[in-house]
Amino acid sequence: MSEPLLHAEPNRALPSDVVLRRIEGPGPRYTSYPTADRFSESFDSGRLEAVLEAHRSASEAGAAAPLSIYVHIPFCESLCYYCACNKIITRHHDRATPYLDALDVEIALVVDRLGAMRPVSQLHFGGGSPTFLNDDEIARLMGSLRRSFRFTPDAELSIEVDPRTVTPSRMAALRAQGFNRVSFGVQDFDDEVQRAVHRVQSFESVRGLIQVARELGFGSINADLIYGLPKQTPESFERTIAQMVDLRPDRIALYAYAHLPERFKPQRRIAQEDLPVANERVSMLGMAMAGFLESGYEYIGMDHFALPQDSLAIAKREGKLQRNFQGYSTQPDCDLIGLGVSAIGRIRNSYYQNAKTLPEYHEALQRGRLPVVRGVDVDRDDLVRRDLIMALMCHGRIEFADVGRRHGLDVRQVFKNELERLAPFVADGFVELEEDAVRVTPMGWYVVRAVAMVFDRHLGEGASRERFSKVV
C-alpha cells in the first residue's frame, strides 16, 4: 500500500455524545481474531506440539519469518483497583524462583518441538509486573532465552516497567540485558485519582525514569494513560495530559477504563459514584486527542499515539502497521510464542493460551506437558474476516480488490450482508462505503471497534459481548 493513507487520524472535534452513546457498548479490542473467548479446550498440548512442529518444518524450508516471544510475569507487589490483568499480588519475592524454574521447563519443551536457536525479532515481557523480578532474576531469564533462541541484531526487546519498582540503576541493568524499548505504566498523575485506584507514584519519579531511559539509549519509550478512572474530572485529566506532553515519551497509549466489577474482583473497590459519567469520559477523550495531536503526536489507531520519528508512526504512514496481543506492532506477520501463566500465542493459523492459574501451570510442566489449556485453529472464513478487521483497525479502510486478491473472492458479494449492516455508520458519518472500499472517516476512528464488529461472525453466534470493554 504505497499511496498516502486517507483519514489517518480522528477528528479533533468529537462526535456528539448522543451519537456515541447510541453505539456505546461492550466490544472486543481485536488483538486477535477470533477473539480469545472463542478458544476451545479441545485444543490441547498435543495439538500445540503438532503446530510447533509445522512451524519447525516451515522454518527449515526457509518459509517462516523470525518469531516474536511474549513472557508473562504474573507477580505484583500491590493491587491497582482498576486492574483487569492476570496477576498475583504478593510481597514474597521468593515466589519468583520456582516460576523461573517452570519457565525454563516450558522453554525446553517448546524448543524440543520447534528446534533450537530459531531466530527471534521481537521479545516482550509483560504482566503483572515484570520488574517484580530483581536484576539477577531478569538476567537469569534472559540467559535462558538467549541460550534457546537466536535474537536478530535488530530485535525489539521490550519490557513493561512499574515506575514504583525501579531505580535508575535498575533501568541501567535492563538496558545491559539488551532491552531497547520500555513501557511505563502511568495511568494518571493526579494525587486523588492515584489514591482512588491505589497506585501512588509521583510525577517527578516518572519524569526521572523517562529521562534516565533516554540517556541509556532506549530506542522507544512508551507511557500508558487511562481515562474514565474514579475521581477523574475533565479538569484533572487535562493537567495529566499537559504533564504527559511535557515528558514527551515516543509513544502514548490512552486506554478507556472498563468498569466490569462482576468480572474483575479488584474493581469492586471502586465506587460507581466516583466514576466520571459518559459525557465527562467523552470530553476527556476529546481533550487527550486534541492535546496529543496538537503537540506533534501522530494518531496510530485505537488508543495509540506516537511521535513522527517513532517506528510505529513510520509503519502507519507506510501502511505496514500490524496488530497483535500487545496492541499495534511494526513487525510483519510473526508467529508468536507465549510463555508463562495465561500467556497467549499464535503459530501459523492457530491461537493458544496457557493455564491461567499457577497451580495448573506448574502441574502441566511437572508432567512434562506444554501448559496449554485452550486454543483455536482458524478456518478460511476466519482468515478473511481477520484480514478485514485488522485492515480497519490498522489502516481505517478495507480495499476490496486487495482483500479479494489475497483470498480469491469477491468481497462485495461474499460480505454483502455485512456491508449492508454498515448503513447506520454511513448515515452517522463514521464510514464511507464506496465501490472499491470501506473507509473509516476521521470521526469514525472513535468507533472503529464497533465498525469492525460488523465483520465478526462469532459475535453473531452468541458470544457474549458483556465480557468486553466499551467500544468508546
Q: List interacting residues with ligand SF4 (CB under 6 A).
A: 76, 79-80, 83, 85, 87, 127-129, 162
User: Quick one: 203 or 264, whose CB is closer to ligand SF4?
Assistant: 264
Of 266 and 286, the one with the shorter C-beta distance to ligand SF4 is: 266
Task: Write down the least CB distance from residue 160 to ligand SF4, Å.
Answer: 8
CB of 76 to ligand SF4, least distance (A): 3
Q: Which is nearer to ligand SF4, 127 or 396 (CB)?
A: 127
For ligand SF4, the closer CB: 407 or 467:
467
Least Å from the CB of residue 189 to ligand SF4: 16
Our CB check for ligand SF4 shows the closer of 80 and 221 to be 80
Residue 188 C-beta: closest distance to ligand SF4, Å: 12
Nearer to ligand SF4 among residue 76 and residue 403 (C-beta):
76
15 versus 340: smaller Cβ distance to ligand SF4: 340
- Between 112 and 224, name the residue whose CB sits nearer to ligand SF4: 224
Shortest distance in whole angstroms from residue 77 CB to ligand SF4: 8
3-state secondary structure string across the chain: CCCCCCCCCCCCCCCCHHHHHHHCCECCCCCCCCCHHHCECCCCHHHHHHHHHHHHHHHHCCCCCCEEEEEEECEECCCCCCCCCCCEECCCHHHHHHHHHHHHHHHHHHHHHHCCCEEEEEEEEEECCHHHCCHHHHHHHHHHHHHHEEEEEEEEEEEEECHHHCCHHHHHHHHHCCCCEEEEEEECCCHHHHHHCCCCCCHHHHHHHHHHHHHCCCCEEEEEEEECCCCCCHHHHHHHHHHHHHHCCCEEEEEECCCCCCCCHHHHHCCHHHCCCHHHHHHHHHHHHHHHHHCCCEEEECCEEECCCCHHHHHHHCCCCEEECCEEECCCCCCEEEECCCCEEEECCEEEEECCCHHHHHHHHHCCCCCEEEEEECCHHHHHHHHHHHHHHHHCEEEHHHHHHHHCCCHHHHCHHHHHCCHHHHHCCCEEECCCEEEECCHHHHHHHHHHHCCCCCHHHCCCHHHCCECC
Task: Kindly state the smallest distance separating residue 80's Cβ from ligand SF4, in Å.
Answer: 3
Least gap, CB of 63 to ligand SF4 (angstroms): 37
Least distance in Å: CB of 90 to ligand SF4? 11
